[in-house]
Amino acid sequence: MASKTILDRPALDGQNAGIADADIQAAAARLAGEDLCSIADLSSGEVRAILKLGREVKSHPARYRRALDAKQMVLMFEKASLRTRLSFETGINTMGGNAIFVDQTNQPLGERESIADVARNVERWVDIIVLRTYAHDTITEMAANSRVPVVNALSDFEHPCQALADFMTLEERFGKVAGLNFTYVGDGNNVCHSLMLTGAQLGANVTVATPRGYSPDFEIVTRAREIAEANGCEIRLLQDPHAAAEGADAIYTDVCVSMGMEHESTKRAPIFRPFQVNETLMAKALPTAVFMHCLPARRNAEVTDAVIDSPQSIVFDQAENRMHAQKALLLLLLNGLANVKAVSC
């Protein structure tokens, strides 16, 4: 998380921050004006605060209708999007703010002019910058040069907003995620990275099963294990999807070919075929287990129709919660709670 100077942060009146919850109050004080480039930028308390506030916003949207009145958000996307774009746009619009979309799919950031120059322009017009990029360095460079908050809405290294919504969905289903056995099957990609870090922050036991050579990044694994040790949980890496699924409360998968890697489709298809989430694999999990996917899904590739359309599937709950979790994040980064009548949650 890039450090902004205190002069660039919105003023926060702790007595009028809207929510009488210790985690949320602490997060509001620390996160106002800050960036979210990685889940590792957040403390465990701040992750809990975002999820608590997400549930509060979801339950009582009318309380937050004017919380971000006149705030301007720019979305600069190098990749196609359905859920990310619409959940951010509807999120800020329903809290009184405005979203401006800049399509960068044909001209990546940094190509026409330097990322630093883009940041120094955009910060003068908007209150927050949301980026969906290929290179993670694009996000960290924008954050380093911007005086307004920068949010990672997906990079080749992490997808923090997705993971926050996913664990909010698990809390809705199970009540709490501490001690939950969470299994990810497939490519050790950006989504996997953020899920490992978020699970560790919340005390979930995270098992990741990938083919040999497709494990998650070593630095992410190391950081997730450090966080997990502090929170009394475990991060396991396996290469057997059926062993990973044994006794799982949740099984999660993603496409095996991410955007920008389409040239590897033919090579990857046979490697990932044994990692398909099907009825046989789901039978290894607990009877109460849920199936999760960040979407879009390649049906009958990484997951079968029988699983994704089953009562165990909560993929559309995850998609809905993108909006609620991101509304909570925007409220914290933009000091929106100062505009909300005090409530307890």
Please confirm, yes or no, whether 294 is among the known catalytic residues: yes
Element (H, E) at 342: none
CA distances from 286 to 183, 240, 246, 247 (A): 12, 17, 8, 5
Unique residue bearing structure tokens 């910058």? 129
* Residue range of the domain that includes 103: 11-158+322-337
pTM to 2 decimal places: 0.93
**Do 102 and 188 reside in the same domain of the chain?**
no
Examine the domain organization and report whether 188 and 119 are in the same domain. Answer: no
CA 282 to chain centre: 24
Distance CA 330, CA 127 (A): 10
Check whether residue 59 and residue 184 sit in a common domain: no
Say whether 322 is catalytic. yes
108, 223: one domain: no
Q: According to the model, what pLDDT value does residue 257 have?
A: 75
Establish if 229 belongs to a structural domain.
Answer: yes
Bridge partner residues of 101 (DSSP): 75
DSSP 8-state assignment for residue 105: T
DSSP H helices in 129-264: 136-145, 160-174, 190-202, 218-230, 241-245
Alpha-carbon distance values, 296 to 26, 63, 137, 259 (Å): 35, 32, 25, 11
What are the tokens at 159? 């997808």
Q: Are residues 116 and 193 in the same domain?
A: no
Contact residues for 161 (Cβ-Cβ < 8 A; gap 6+):
36, 84, 151, 152, 153, 154, 322, 325, 326, 329
- What DSSP element (H or E) covers 56? helix 44-59
Render pLDDT for 64-99 as a digit per residue (tens, 0 to 9). Answer: 999 999 999 999 999 999 999 999 999 999 999 999
Which residue of the set 104, 162, 312, 318 is catalytic? 162
Q: Same domain, yes or no, for 184 and 314?
A: yes
Contact (Cβ atoms closer than 8 angstroms) between residue 206 and residue 233: yes
**118's tokens:** 């883009």
The pLDDT of residue 341: 81
Catalytic residue among 37, 161, 233, 294: 294
Which residues is 103 bridged to in the sheet?
Answer: 77
Identify the segments of the chain with pLDDT beneath 70: 1-18, 258-261, 263, 343-345
Q: What is the pLDDT of residue 46?
A: 98
Same domain, 97 and 132: yes
Q: Is 132 a catalytic residue?
A: yes
| Catalytic option among 159, 193, 225, 293 | 159
Rounded CA separation 4/10 (Å): 11
Which residue in the list 55, 132, 225, 293 is annotated as catalytic? 132
Residue 261's alpha-carbon distances to 2, 98, 301, in angstroms, are: 29, 33, 16
- CATH number of the domain bearing residue 133: 3.40.50.1370
112 among known catalytic residues: no
Q: Are residues 147 and 186 in the same domain?
A: no
Give the separation between CA 136 and CA 86, rounded to whole angstroms.
22
List the one residue out of 194, 197, 200 whose CA is nearest residue 228. Answer: 200
333 and 199 fall within a common domain: no
Decide if 293 is catalytic: no
Examine the residue annotation and report whether 236 is marked as an active-site residue of this protein: no
65/170 same-domain check: no
How many CA within 13 A on the CB side of residue 14?
9
pLDDT at site 92: 98
User: Do the beta carbons of residue 239 and residue 212 sit within 8 Å?
Assistant: yes
pLDDT (0 to 100) of residue 29: 96
Question: What's the CA dihedral at 43, 319, 158, 30 to 10 degrees?
Answer: -30
Which amino acid, residue 175?
G
The pLDDT value recorded for residue 265 is 78
Please answer whether residues 138 and 112 qualify as being in contact, where contact means their C-beta atoms are separated by less than 8 angstroms: no
The catalytically annotated residue of 35, 37, 254, 326 is 254
What's the number of domains the chain is made of?
2
